[in-house]
Amino acid sequence: MGPLKARVTETDLKVPFFLTGVMMCPKWTTEDGFETQLAVNHLGHFLLTNLLLGMLKRSHPSRVVNLSSIAHVGGKIEFDDLFFDKRPYSPLLSYKQSKLANVLFSRELARRMKGTGVSSYCLHPGVIRTELIRHILVRFPVLKIILSLPCILLMKTPWQGAQTSIYCAVTEGLESKSGCYFSDCAEKDPAPEGKDDEVARRLWEESARLVGLNIRH
């Protein structure tokens, strides 16, 4: 992600939210040569979190909240081909990989921050009426017709979709749940692939290499 220099003027940071994401976009590549979904949904959050860890520790108790998705179910971290350079690109598989990366990153961050006063949470916000699905509608126009029907009423509004993020940020006594996965303002069990500590450790190390970090916590 290139040389990153930042002048931090704030001295206190309690709860950074990592909500930025893209979903099932075409195969685009960042200027650093990374496939866009993994870069935006995971690597950017990973890098910024690490750059802020010193401040988060000084501001303890503090929390890191990562937005994942139920789409992490069935995902796989393909260490031999993270950016689809060797296999046909699949927008869905790429998205699932990036959302699984959120779960594993949050879990590994919690392990590394144990005893520091920094807690880590990830969550599925629900299916929300936003422009996140715009790339899906382009690929599958029939979905645009379906989603314009009354079933759209079953989707959450942005306000409703924000509630679990807020829950993870402000609920008292949640420190013992650091590293856990949440949905609908309650702890939920992630998919088995989201509880693989060895893959989580390896993903952390590979992510650090990719973004040029040489930090051990």
**C-alpha distance from residue 79 to each of 76, 83, 134, 206 (Å):** 9, 9, 28, 8
95 is catalytic: yes
Helix (H/G/I), strand (E/B), else coil: 90 = coil
Within 10 angstroms of residue 16's Cβ, the number of other Cβ atoms is 18
Within 10 angstroms of residue 177's Cβ, the number of other Cβ atoms is 16
Catalytic residue among 89, 95, 121, 181: 95
As a dihedral over the C-alpha atoms of residue 201, residue 76, residue 49, residue 178, rounded to 10 degrees, the angle is: -70
Angle in degrees, 0-180, between the axes of helices 197-211 and 91-112, rounded to the nearest 10:
100
| Lookup result for tokens 């998705």 | 69
Q: Give me the active site residues, please.
A: 95
